[in-house]
Chains A and B, each alone.
Chain A
Amino acid sequence: MIAASGLTKRYPGGHEALRDVGFEVSAGEMVFITGHSGAGKSTLVKLVAAIERPTSGSLVVNGQNLAALRKAALPYLRRHFGLVFQDQKLLFDRTVLDNVLLPLEIVGLPRREAVRRAQAALDKVGLLEREKARPIALSGGEQQRLAIARAVVNRPTILLADEPTGNLDAQSALEVLEIFESFHQVGVTVVVATHDPQWIERYRPHVLRLDHGRLVP
């Protein structure tokens, strides 16, 4: 599903966030990217999500080489991803339901069908009764669950998350964790960048450990 080799990312100014990183993730796998702050976790997630481009090396996601991807093809690739960020990037001028509807509007799903699916996604993260609320009225944990609902409503093949529990208390973090686990169980490839040890102890998943931009055993 994801194959990287010799992956290097150098930012303007010379800072090397990733150096010669190589790994593979099979379809349906649950993978955690860990490491200290500044180790390159976020950079790796951004590369896989095609938000940034590698300086060198190859990165194949869902059969497409991201280093050589045409700009026009990018939106269609993104539709296979579900992205969850630490700052959830919710739209605060829309209701909870409308936030979840956005990915479905983008692919042009008929309104009725879209609402049905958005409600199902909200139900899955336990927010159905809040569908008419504004995101500002939600707690931090609820906002993160809303972000997850938006990420999964279009049935992505890869769920990518960057520090999804970074700002949450232990209880909310656990709830988020369980939601990711449930998607993994239905066959979605899940990639989570986190420095939260609780995840790794609990699932003993495939772990990519980063140290100063390099992959370490």
Chain B
Amino acid sequence: MIGPWLSQHRAALASAIRRLVAAPLSTLLSLLAIGIALTLPAAGFVLLDNLRDVGRNAAGAQQISVFMALDASRKDLAEIESRLRREVPGTWRFVPREEALKRLQASEGMAEIVASLPRNPLPDAFVVEPEGAAPEALEALRQTFTGWPRVAHVQLDSAWIRRFDAFLRLGRLAVSLLAAIFAAGLVAVTFNTIRLQVLSQAAEIEVARLIGATDAFIRRPFQYFGALQGLLGGVFAYALVAGGLGLLATPVAELAALYGGTFALRGPGALAAGALAAAGAGLGWLGAQLSVTLSLRRFA
């Protein structure tokens, strides 16, 4: 029986839209409250997203230096080379000890010191740039390299990456908590709006029950109202975040240029817009559902 079902839902949706339009000021204020509640966590997530991009760009310079023992033979080097080729995704290059010494000589003020050395103190080395720069993976690689034959020392400068990653995780947690709090706020706003509506429609609800309306029928327009209000609030929040980023884009690009880089702020994409609208609609529906269920129980 899809026909009655469909026409009931269409009627409920129409009634919800009528109620939204019938009280434009209160609708506008509710949308403002919901929109702002959603804007803050959404902006937080966008910010973290952009920070992660900054981290990723810097992570391009992530290297693991594998220093061989001073007396490592050609055969040992070939062994390491073949293992790198087989086991490590990414790029690597070999730095012979002579080349390392030459570079050191080229550095300012080092030439004399190098000249005074009786022999080349530098080992052969491999500089590895692994693909996929998760800190844990880098650490695992470091462990692996350390265990390879004739490897004297492995150096991974990942401390700052780890700190940055921990900072991002903390930020993500903080923004998630913020989002949870504002989500509860959104549910509460909807709850209250719907409670007032149910009270003002008491007569209609009583009559509808007397002539055979199910609770689902009575709840439906309120659920649509809550979901619709939340959806519009989500769209509003998206507009606020996108607009704010638009204003920030030029100053950020200028700042990046001053540091000699190029960095473009990444705005929330279509996916984020959909997620915001869906979150708004879902939370609005939840608030309406809670409110109308409790109110109806008090009626009966």
* Chain A residues in the interface with B (C-beta under 8 A): 49, 51, 72, 75-79, 81, 83, 89-91, 93, 102-103, 105-111, 150-151, 154
Contacts and interface: CB of A to CB of B under 8 A. Distances in A.
Contacts of B213: 75, 106
A91 B204 contact: yes
Nearest to A110: B7
Interface residues of B, number: 19
B207 to A, nearest CB: 5
Given A75-B213, A78-B210, A89-B210, A107 B203 contact: no
3 nearest A-B pairs in the assembled complex, by CB-CB distance: A108-B4, A78-B212, A79-B212
Contacts of A83: 210-211
Contacts of A72: 214
Interface in B240-267: none
A102 B208 contact: yes
A13 B11 CA distance: 43
Contacts of A77: 212
B7 A106 contact: no
Nearest to A88: B207
A83 B207 CA distance: 10
Interface in B193-212: 203-204, 206-212
B22 to A, nearest CB: 10
Nearest to A82: B211
A129 B30 CA distance: 40
B210 A108 contact: no
Interface string B38-67: 000000000000000000000000000000
A107 B208 CA distance: 11
Given A83-B210, A93-B204, 15 more contacts: A72-B214, A75-B209, A75-B213, A75-B217, A77-B212, A79-B212, A81-B212, A89-B203, A89-B210, A106-B214, A108-B4, A109-B4, A111-B11, A151-B211, A154-B212
Nearest to A108: B4
Contact of A89 (B3, B11, B207, B212): B207
Nearest to A78: B212
Contacts of B210: 49, 51, 78, 83, 89
B11 A105 contact: yes
B5 interface: yes
Given A91-B203, A105-B11, A108-B5, A76 B212 contact: yes
A188 to B, nearest CB: 16
Contacts of A79: 211-212
Contact of A102 (B3, B5, B211): B211
B208 A106 contact: yes
Given A91-B203, A105-B11, A75 B5 contact: no
